[in-house]
Amino acid sequence: MPFDDDRDSENDSSLIGLGFIPLVPFGWCHFARPEGSQSFATIGSFDCDINEDLSKALAVSLRRSNLFKDAYFSFGGEQEKANLIITAHINKFYYRGKFITYGLSSFGCIFWLFGAPNATSFNEVNLNLYMKNKDTIVWEYTISGDGGYWQSLYYNYGYDVKDFSKILQNGYNEAIYDLQKKMRDNPEAFK
């Protein structure tokens, strides 16, 4: 099922240009909903339908795990046919970035040519997965993680949102291991 979105709605990129004021070392932005933003430190936008894409990725991970006969994404139309339903609450899918000018305004780009960082990015994810057997919750798991990069014209450029996929991939793998253990310990709940 599509995930429920419980995130804040604050996206602020109004301070990214502060780095172009002399003596101000960097400008910054932060997005509680990065998919709705157009001003990251090194990329133009992040094209993602969070509620659908995260749940579709989980369906693929579950299908590949071979824990179930089948696993698929649905908007709810096939709910009556499903033995188990898994969904999640997205609590955080957060981006913070800095655009570094070293207090030299547009002249800070001289340092960039020599490999000095021109940006930093930070990603944080928190979501609660849960599986229901009709109306009873039979399994819950929280995926939580963060990470970031120093970026330069020569390394990690464009990695503003790269850690989102790493956090989710690792989180889904760990969740599936936890689900497998729960299924082994209590097989009756998952019939």
Q: What is the pLDDT of residues 33-77, one digit of tens each?
A: 999 888 899 998 899 999 999 999 999 999 999 988 888 898 877
* Band (115; pLDDT cuts 50, 70, 90): very high
Which pTM does this prediction carry?
0.90
Total domains, the chain: 1
Question: Can you read off the two tokens belonging to residue 127?
Answer: 């979501």
Least confident of 119-123, 130-134, 173-177: 130-134
- Residue 129 CA to residue 186 CA, distance in Å, equals 18
Q: Which domain holds residue 90?
A: 4-186
Domain annotation covers residue 191: no
Domain annotation covers residue 115: yes
DSSP code for 90: E
Q: Which one, of 133, 136, 139, 147, lies nearest residue 88 by Cα?
A: 139
CA atoms 130, 131, 132, 137: torsion sign:
negative
pLDDT for 185 = 92
- 22 and 105 Cβ atoms separated by less than 8 Å: yes
- Residue 137 CA to residue 88 CA, distance in Å, equals 12
Q: Is 173 helix (H, G, I), strand (E, B) or coil?
A: helix
Straight-line distance from the first to the last Cα atom of the chain, in angstroms, rounded to the nearest whole number: 19
